[in-house]
Amino acid sequence: MSSTIFNLVLLVHVLAGLSVIGLVLVQHGKGADMGAAFGSGASGSLFGASGSANFLSRTTAVLATVFFITSLSLSYLAGKRPAEPASIMNRELPAAVVPAGEASPAPEAPSSETAPQEAPPAGTPPEQQGTGAAAIPE
């Protein structure tokens, strides 16, 4: 039930967000008539009030309120959701099962060839450094 409500609120949230974007892009800006005020036509005012709000601006305000409410609702519902089960990738593997009659193989000790070598102290001449990873090739 909680997942259905979460998905429904998420759907309303996305639709409200897209609608707000569309309505804002369709509306006529306040500064769009500024050119008309400087001689190419008659404008009511340069930066003054444009009178009462029209249908588009009221609809934008309502949808912005819906978007804000759904944002708060989604954050509340996300906090109330139960923790999802751990992924299979995050689970620990069980210890290897060894049949009763067989012994498990002993781990091999690292050989001196594959063991990491420590770098010689700073200031050691190249002749005394050896052939390790830190040796300077000649």
The pLDDT tens digits for 49-83 are: 555 568 888 999 999 999 999 999 999 998 887 66
The structural domain count of the chain equals 1
Task: Look up the domain containing 63 and give its range.
Answer: 1-28+53-82
**Strand residues in the chain grouped as ranges (E):** none
Distance CA 102, CA 124 (A): 51
Q: End-to-end CA distance of the chain, in Å?
A: 72
pLDDT grade for 115, boundaries at 50, 70 and 90:
low
In terms of pTM, does the model score above 0.85?
no
pLDDT grade for 126, boundaries at 50, 70 and 90:
low
Q: Which of 44-48, 77-81, 133-137 has the highest mean pLDDT?
A: 77-81
**Residue 20 is assigned to a structural domain of this protein:** yes
**Residue 87 is assigned to a structural domain of this protein:** no
Cβ 44 vs Cβ 32: under 8 Å: no
Average pLDDT of the chain to the nearest whole number: 73
